[in-house]
Structure 1
Amino acid sequence: MYFAEKLKVLLKSHHTFIYIVTNEEERIEYTIQTINNNQINIFYWDFIDGYQNNPNYHGKAQRNPLEALEFIETIKSITPQIFILRDFHLFINDISIIRKIKNLYKTLKSSNSHIIILASEVQIPISLQEIIVLMEFPLPNFKEIKQELKRLLQITKIDLINKDIEDFALAYKGLSIERIRKSIYTLAIYNKFRSTEQIITNILEEKKQFIQQTDILDFYPANHSLQDIGGLINLKIWLQKRSNTFSLQAHNYGIPAPKGVLLVGIQGTGKSLSAKAIAKEWKIPLLKLDIGKLFNSLVGESEFRMRQMIKISEASAPCVLWIDEIDKTFNRMNNNNDGGTTNRVVSSFLTWLSEKESSVFVVATANNITYLPPEMLRKGRFDEIFFLDLPNKQERYNIFKIHLRKVRPYTWKNYDITHLSNLTSKFSGAEIEQCIIEAMHQGFYEKREFITQDIINAITECIPLSFTNEDIINSIQEWVKTGKIRNASHELNMS
């Protein structure tokens, strides 16, 4: 395990203070014990019970974090020692604690004593950042989850084939070991191990609840397919070629995991729908990032939220990470005075986009390409950049057909789709759908079936958004002509 090896190196190189961010207290303590091999004395402290594991010091420093640090100076031993301080981030900004940590650093830096602070969030004072080494304990990987599942299934006496165990392990990625245990026991109690598909549905529902608790990411159901999108042939072909890229066969073939795509175009052209369809087509979870939620007024909190977003996304891989209207973030960066927080967050995000090796496929959408910096558009951030233009006549025909078949599966041929397609030049797919909905409202109000004329009336009353966004469309089309951006359809959609 990479984390355990890195922690070993830090301990051997005499790092006195190590700050580990995790919500999995039991698992991190087990990890520390496994790298110990009984060669290090370990002391555990928390605010309520004080020091606990040694009868000679039981209850020492109860409700007294300063005394917990003073106690460390009194323990003299040739054997290396680790002092684990739980939830100590809640006290670390106190002036007396800061001073004591500085004094301890001077006293202990040549000794074999190490102080590990376990915290659920980063709260390191600026004055201690040179002293304390920060680590983030990763969520369990696929191999760890699979091992834990086998152990739990043996305890609950549930017999499953290896294929099911692997499917469950993949579905559980992104959850803590404790949550996985609770889930398995719940499934065992209610005897829900009958349908593999139903179990995975239950797991994904639990994952959705967990991810939404982070208040950064949303877990979206992938309920739209590429067949729900009219047109965008180039984009569809590109995606279909990569539909099995995250498989073991692709890995053995030597294909690197795709990084993602940037979809640009005005509102209503199918960017968000495409993000949902990719997850459905590739049969992987869809996470949505509200990038505005990354920014917080507290110092260091925005950077922590960015790291948390990356941690959860990578732990949930393979997955699609959908970032809607990313151009607004860069517009914020150009017009914001927050002491450089936005610049640091965006810079770390761009670095992650370029360097990530995990199977997180990023789908970013943008309405206005002029807000995006050049470094966002260079090769390496995304595998491809697609322009989702207004649909041409054939694409409009397909869009009408898709939406009418949804609402009138048996009578959709009764509508004059060809004529409707001719009338909706410069309409987006969303505007076409809205015209159909408006026609349905009219027919329902008059207690009759809606007809082609109702749709025509709705079309004549609609002012397409493209009329006020011609400059944006033209600027993106110029980029397409240079070859830096691919058109998601066969050609520029001018008809």
Structure 2
Amino acid sequence: MTTTNATEKTKKHLANLFRARFPYLYIQTWEEDRVLSLIRDVAQDAELIKTTREVILWRVTTGLIDGKGQSMGDTKLPLKALEYIEKYDKPSIFVLQDFHVFFGSEWRVPDYQVIRKLRDMLTSIKQSEHPINVIFTSPFLILPDDLQKDVTIVDFELPSFEEIKNLLEEMIQVNEQSSRIQINLDNEGKERLAKAALGLTLSEAENAFARAMVEDGRLDIHDVEVVLQEKEQIIKKTEILEFVRSDLKMADVGGLENLKRWLSKRNKSWLDSARKYGLPAPKGVLITGVPGCGKSLISKSISSMWQLPLLRLDMGKIFRGIVGSSEENMRKAIRTAEAISPSILWIDEIEKGFSGYSGGSDSGTSARVFGQFLTWMQEKTSPVFVIATANNISALPGELMRKGRFDEIFFVDLPTLRERKEIMRVHISKRLTDPEVSGEFELTDESLDLLSSKCEGFVGAEIEQMVIDALFEAYAENSAVRLDHFERAIVNTVPLSVTLAEQIRGIRDWANIRAVTATPREDRKEYTDEGLAVPPGAILSNMGEYDDVRLKRGGRTVDF
């Protein structure tokens, strides 16, 4: 497998640390074989390291093992192993695996003799005639305060895109020799499959590709789903992020065509083909507006459009736990999202999570977490697309909406006539599938026009509930569905646009200069025309002040 730029950079960094005779290095990784292979490559590269060195491995189950696999005496006990290292007189690199168990943790008392011995050895290792380096490798970063000034932490990234793609190519080549699995992947398909596996170790990626091959005897672009299932295991273990699996498609979202077009144009923008245009991966979008108008619905549907994993960040879980853990929880969530990128990070009702960001009520914890999130949003380079939704705009900090954090801010208003018609079509079609129940009722443009005009002022969630209520009416009568069932359900519903009329006016005033409308220009014009002639019997006849809310829609008109 060819090395990548990232791998070469890590090799050079390690080589410089070895040559500078840094005594103790710490590498946090699950990939023992991969990091050992890299260390051995560096240790034998005379151009990089000048003085080549033997790599000696220690495990609590085997003790010290030399480069030929031979035991180096009774060295299973950590103190025995350290004494052996202290006296060793050849150029060498000692790799101590899982040595963190002696450093203590929240559940384990540290072994102070081992820690003291490591500090005692510092001078002899530095002054040794032959260069010696000690590397601790572990899946966890646990370092006692006593050693923090003496141990250098080395970042060891998960496999890069090039490494995973090389692995995929090798597996395809091996399969082509046996011709047991049908391969149906072009270059773009290979790229998408490899990028879907980012965030997995090489072993996990190999398992995912192998599973994809054997499940149906072929490997094609549809096997991205198999890779995402492997990633789901990673997310479940964080307990902060939730892997959201949704069958929702963009076609299931009625209206919001302006927002849909904006999202559609950014599909595949994390692929290499976008680099030809000098395009960066999109950072994210903030969707705000009237409650119940489809903000969460469209957030879930982006995942299926882009074929990327959707992760929901629960801000409540960020702030739970002991003092000082909130910042670490946010770092952990960010690291996980970046590890499995390209991905989509969804923060629902973000204003609730950062409502105390000023720091007055929690000793500044919210402010620190909020600052941490803002800094990451501004500086992130990994293709993690952030979707944030908000209902209460006044609770949003101004810093969050500054350019550079989100690519765009969209405002979702009350649905127009055309949007209500589409929303109603989606919900009725989804539920009214039995011919006996549908009876003589036909889902025609005329019936949809009539019902949509009568439910002016309804949000999408209210239209869905109205359809359900109408079907309950028919079910209670044990009859086929009729048009009057829907009309009755409409009359019995008091929409949010009536109870929250003043709040909606305030939201729209805010959105007029700060956000782009999710509704396209042609639908907004139709809505204005619609407002000039309300059909007889429409529920708006008793709305009073709502007329002002209905005619003055919010959000800047920018078409995508």
Query: Which TM-score band (shorter chain)?
Result: 0.7 to 0.9
The question of whether the paired residues in 1 share the 8 Å contact of 2:425 and 2:443 is answered with yes
Following TM superposition, by how much is the alpha carbon of 1:186 offset from its aligned partner in structure 2, in angstroms? Answer: 4.2
From 96, 99, 104, the counterpart of 1:85: 96
Match of 2:242, as an amino acid?
Answer: D
Q: Secondary structure at the match of 1:412?
A: coil
Q: Deviations over 1:241-272 (max 9, x none)?
A: 32342333321111222111011124322111
User: How far apart, CA to CA, are the structure 2 residues paired with 1:463 and 1:110?
Assistant: 82
Which structure 1 residue ranges, 5 or more long, are not aligned? none
Q: Deviations over 1:153-212 (max 9, x none)?
A: 444545546635444323322221112233344455x46333524533333323333433
Identity of aligned residues (%): 37
From 337, 347, 363, the counterpart of 1:313: 337
91-100 vs 252-261, greater mean Cα deviation: 91-100
* TM-score in terms of structure 1 length: 0.86
- The 1:264/1:139 distance shift into structure 2, 3 A limit, reads same
- The 1:227/1:165 distance shift into structure 2, 3 A limit, reads closer
Following TM superposition, by how much is the alpha carbon of 1:380 offset from its aligned partner in structure 2, in angstroms? Answer: 0.5
User: How far apart, CA to CA, are the structure 1 residues paired with 2:451 and 2:146?
Assistant: 67
Q: Which residue matches 2:37?
A: 30
Q: Which residue matches 1:199?
A: 223
User: How far apart, CA to CA, are the structure 2 residues paired with 1:101 and 1:246?
Assistant: 46
Q: Which residue matches 2:165?
A: 146
Following TM superposition, by how much is the alpha carbon of 1:325 offset from its aligned partner in structure 2, in angstroms? Answer: 2.0
- The 1:152/1:304 distance shift into structure 2, 3 A limit, reads farther
Following TM superposition, by how much is the alpha carbon of 1:283 offset from its aligned partner in structure 2, in angstroms? Answer: 3.6
Q: Which residue matches 2:48?
A: none
Query: What pairs up with 1:250-265 in 2 under 5 angstroms?
Result: 250-265=274-289
Q: Secondary structure at the match of 1:348?
A: helix
Q: Which residue matches 2:64?
A: 51
The question of whether the paired residues in 1 share the 8 Å contact of 2:192 and 2:271 is answered with no
Q: Which residue matches 2:346?
A: 322
Match of 2:515, as an amino acid?
Answer: I
Q: Which residue matches 1:169?
A: 194
User: How far apart, CA to CA, are the structure 2 residues paired with 1:166 and 1:158?
Assistant: 23
Match of 1:273, as an amino acid?
Answer: L
Q: Which residue matches 2:393?
A: 369
Pairwise CA RMSD of aligned residues?
3.2
The question of whether the paired residues in 2 share the 8 Å contact of 1:192 and 1:199 is answered with no
Q: Secondary structure at the match of 2:388?
A: strand
Q: Which residue matches 2:87?
A: 74
From 11, 15, 26, the counterpart of 2:18: 11
Q: Which residue matches 1:290?
A: 314
Q: Secondary structure at the match of 2:389?
A: strand
Q: Secondary structure at the match of 2:444?
A: helix
Q: Which residue matches 1:228?
A: 252
- The 1:223/1:427 distance shift into structure 2, 3 A limit, reads same
User: How far apart, CA to CA, are the structure 2 residues paired with 1:301 and 1:155?
Assistant: 47
Match of 1:441, as an amino acid?
Answer: F
Following TM superposition, by how much is the alpha carbon of 1:435 offset from its aligned partner in structure 2, in angstroms? Answer: 1.6
The question of whether the paired residues in 1 share the 8 Å contact of 2:58 and 2:64 is answered with yes
304-313 vs 24-33, greater mean Cα deviation: 304-313
Query: Given the alignment of the two structures, is residue 440 of structure 1 paired with residue 471 of structure 2, yes or no?
Result: yes
Following TM superposition, by how much is the alpha carbon of 1:68 offset from its aligned partner in structure 2, in angstroms? Answer: 4.0
The question of whether the paired residues in 1 share the 8 Å contact of 2:196 and 2:308 is answered with no
Following TM superposition, by how much is the alpha carbon of 1:422 offset from its aligned partner in structure 2, in angstroms? Answer: 3.6
User: How far apart, CA to CA, are the structure 2 residues paired with 1:442 and 1:448?
Assistant: 9
- The 1:26/1:216 distance shift into structure 2, 3 A limit, reads farther
From 449, 454, 459, the counterpart of 1:418: 449
Following TM superposition, by how much is the alpha carbon of 1:278 offset from its aligned partner in structure 2, in angstroms? Answer: 2.4
- The 1:168/1:488 distance shift into structure 2, 3 A limit, reads closer
Query: Given the alignment of the two structures, is residue 123 of structure 1 paired with residue 153 of structure 2, yes or no?
Result: no
- The 1:203/1:237 distance shift into structure 2, 3 A limit, reads closer
From 442, 458, 473, the counterpart of 2:489: 458
Following TM superposition, by how much is the alpha carbon of 1:382 offset from its aligned partner in structure 2, in angstroms? Answer: 0.7
**Whose relative contact order is higher, 1 or 2, with alpha carbons under 8 Å and at least 6 apart?**
1
Query: What pairs up with 1:103-122 in 2 under 5 angstroms?
Result: 103-105=120-122, 107-109=124-126, 112-122=131-141
Match of 2:96, as an amino acid?
Answer: L
From 237, 246, 253, the counterpart of 2:261: 237
The question of whether the paired residues in 2 share the 8 Å contact of 1:264 and 1:369 is answered with yes
Q: Deviations over 1:276-329 (max 9, x none)?
A: 232333343333333333445357655454444334433433332222222222
Q: Secondary structure at the match of 1:288?
A: strand
Following TM superposition, by how much is the alpha carbon of 1:66 offset from its aligned partner in structure 2, in angstroms? Answer: 4.4
Q: Deviations over 1:332-357 (max 9, x none)?
A: 54578666554443322221211112
Q: Which residue matches 2:206?
A: 181
Equivalences, count: 490
User: How far apart, CA to CA, are the structure 2 residues paired with 1:424 and 1:91?
Assistant: 68
The question of whether the paired residues in 2 share the 8 Å contact of 1:260 and 1:384 is answered with yes
The question of whether the paired residues in 2 share the 8 Å contact of 1:20 and 1:135 is answered with yes
399-408 vs 371-380, greater mean Cα deviation: 399-408
Following TM superposition, by how much is the alpha carbon of 1:379 offset from its aligned partner in structure 2, in angstroms? Answer: 0.6
Q: Deviations over 1:350-380 (max 9, x none)?
A: 2121111222211111222233222211110
405-414 vs 355-364, greater mean Cα deviation: 405-414
Q: Which residue matches 1:274?
A: 298
Larger Rg: 2
User: How far apart, CA to CA, are the structure 1 residues paired with 2:160 and 2:85?
Assistant: 34
- The 1:220/1:59 distance shift into structure 2, 3 A limit, reads farther
Q: Secondary structure at the match of 1:433?
A: helix
Following TM superposition, by how much is the alpha carbon of 1:385 offset from its aligned partner in structure 2, in angstroms? Answer: 1.1
The question of whether the paired residues in 1 share the 8 Å contact of 2:58 and 2:96 is answered with yes
